[in-house]
Amino acid sequence: MTSTDKLPTRRENFSEWYNQIVQRAELADYAPVRGCMVVRPYGWALWENIQGALDRRFKATGHVNAAFPLLIPKSFLEKEKEHVEGFSPELAVVTIGGGETLEEPLIIRPTSETIIGHMYSKWIKSYRDLPVLINQWGNVVRWELRTRLFLRTLEFYWQEGHTAHATSEEAEAETRRMLDVYADFAINEAAVPVVSGLKSDKEKFAGAVRSYTIEAMMGDTRALQSGTSHFLGQNFAKAFDIQFLDWNNEMQYAWTTSWGLSTRFIGAVIMTHGDDQGLVLPPRLAPIQVVVIPIYKSDQEKSLVMESVERVRAELAGFRIKVDDRPEVTPGFKFNDWEMRGVPLRIEIGPKDVAKDSVALARRDIPGKAGKSFASQQNLAQQVAQILEDIHTSLHIRALAFRQANTYDPVDYPELVEAVTHGWAYAWWCESPECEAKVKDETKATTRCIPLDQPDRTGSCIVCGKPARRKVIFARAY
């Protein structure tokens, strides 16, 4: 496969389109261990920008970063019954260390509630120690059977926030606050429109009282869970004896939360914005925001063009900029290469542009001639900033319009079955596990979330016809 080979179109084969983009844009590659991935520098730069955007938000809300061990005693996971049952099929277990059988097997963390709960029980003694607001950036391992780069791999990278509070109300408020942080990030950094909602009991995190999620529609209309926030109640506090002396000098169990967003979000960016030419990256997260392509035929033209290129590079120093001056490939090759990598804005400078003191601009979100324009080299930074803002807005509007066009409001069960074959169904649900299971068994669609924004009326369950007080999104998902 070379960069000149044509991508399969999204309509022809969305899955293969996705797999080829990840590799041809050099975001990631397959590792020697089945189901694992190597994140390449371009993909890691994208992840670093995601990290930076989230980390700023976490710290602005009072959270601090820490690091906890990769290895967890097996007995820790067994302390919270629902938690261990939820994760047991996905666990990787270490039984030998230093050439000897271990007294107690160790689990490679699938998530860190247990080890962090253990530490919080040592650190929290009084209401004065609360709240504890800690985030961790790290990797986890879950033994997935069906894997796909970024979307589902054995090992992946993420952040996981873990907080402890004196009251149920504070913990619930924290859970919802972090859900809002995720939604703000998705919309305002990634231009990915999301629906914030509550997970059903069947779909919630193992060990949580309530789980909240942001759900996004991908380019094939499937849903992707893009970030989750969990109210854990006192489940883990009781399992790990996280107790504190309250204002009345009485011992109480803390109330805890956890929340996370992973490298899976890179998959969300690819599948929300990408097109048949490759990646389309939102400007605020793109590793390279502007690529400059010099165009010349002779040494004399090269000298004039490169002088102009250097001025433009200096003018645009405030952006993440790349000058592609590779002599061994043609400008046309470079255009295709950077389109595949999704760079938001391309600037072309040739001898005619130098003579006119101008540049040619090509927006990645608008292919072909429609996305091309010319601009003066004077005040170029201001013009580029505005174009990048316009691209972000355009991407969000387009993705939101796509979701709205592919979300249906079925009036009966046959319409629901039809709707989830090519989109989302937004329908009344009585919230019974039986109706939820029937939809999943017969359509492969699951309850993605009960949106926080609800109609101010009640209805009848789309499955059984019984009274329903809330609507839910049913969809097939990654």
Does 285 reside within a domain?
Answer: no
- What CATH number did the domain enclosing 93 receive? 3.30.930.10
Does 396 reside within a domain?
Answer: no
Contact call for residues 373 and 361 (beta carbons, < 8 A): yes
Pairing of strands 290-294, 424-429: unpaired
Cα distance between residue 397 and residue 288, in whole Å:
22
- Same structural domain for residues 133 and 214? yes
What's the structural domain count of the chain? 3
Does 359 reside within a domain?
Answer: yes
The secondary structure of residue 242, as a DSSP letter, is -
Better-predicted residue by pLDDT, 3 or 431: 431
**Length of the chain measured in residues:** 478
**How high is the pLDDT of residue 193?**
98
**How high is the pLDDT of residue 5?**
78
Considering only CA atoms, give the Rg of the chain.
25
**How high is the pLDDT of residue 54?**
98
- What CATH number did the domain enclosing 340 receive? 3.40.50.800
- Same structural domain for residues 141 and 259? yes
- Same structural domain for residues 254 and 315? no
pLDDT tens, position by position, 61-93: 999 999 999 999 999 988 877 776 777 788 999
Cα distance between residue 116 and residue 93, in whole Å:
19
**Summary mean pLDDT of the chain:** 96
Segment 293-321 shows an average pLDDT of 97
Cα distance between residue 435 and residue 441, in whole Å:
10
Reported as a pLDDT band with limits 50, 70 and 90, residue 145 is: confident
- Same structural domain for residues 414 and 359? no
- Same structural domain for residues 25 and 129? yes
**How high is the pLDDT of residue 79?**
86
- Same structural domain for residues 240 and 309? no
User: E strands within 61-205?
Assistant: 64-65, 71-73, 92-97, 100-108, 132-141, 155-165, 195-198
pLDDT tens, position by position, 7-16: 999 999 999 9
Residue 358, domain extent: 290-387
pLDDT tens, position by position, 247-299: 999 999 999 999 999 999 999 999 999 999 999 999 999 999 999 999 999 99
Does 118 reside within a domain?
Answer: yes
**How high is the pLDDT of residue 240?**
96
- Same structural domain for residues 141 and 263? yes
Q: Which of 331, 247, 251, 235 is nearest to 291 (CA)?
A: 331
Does 302 reside within a domain?
Answer: yes
Segment 162-189 shows an average pLDDT of 98
Does 7 reside within a domain?
Answer: no
Percent of the chain with pLDDT over 90: 95
- Same structural domain for residues 192 and 117? yes
The sheet with strand 100-108 has its strands ordered as 71-73, 100-108, 92-97
Reported as a pLDDT band with limits 50, 70 and 90, residue 146 is: confident
Cα distance between residue 184 and residue 207, in whole Å:
26
pLDDT tens, position by position, 420-453: 999 999 999 999 999 999 999 999 999 999 999 9
Does 397 reside within a domain?
Answer: no
Tokens in use for 283?
């400007």
Percent of the chain with pLDDT over 70: 99
Reported as a pLDDT band with limits 50, 70 and 90, residue 4 is: low
Instruction: Give the lowest-confidence range in 70-79, 217-226, 375-384.
Output: 70-79
Quick check: 1 pLDDT over 70? Answer: no
Contact call for residues 183 and 200 (beta carbons, < 8 A): no
- Same structural domain for residues 48 and 185? yes
- Same structural domain for residues 235 and 315? no
- For the chain, report the end-to-end CA distance as a whole number of angstroms: 26
Report the half-sphere exposure of 225 (CA within 13 A, side-chain side). Answer: 24
**How high is the pLDDT of residue 87?**
78
- Sequence-distant (6+) residues with CB within 8 A of 319 are 289, 290, 381, 384, 385, 388
- Sequence-distant (6+) residues with CB within 8 A of 389 are 283
Is residue 333 within a helix (H) or strand (E), and if so which, with residue range?
helix 331-340
**How high is the pLDDT of residue 29?**
98
Last residue of a domain, one of 273, 308, 335: 273
- pTM value is 0.96
- Sequence-distant (6+) residues with CB within 8 A of 266 are 27, 43, 46, 47, 50, 150
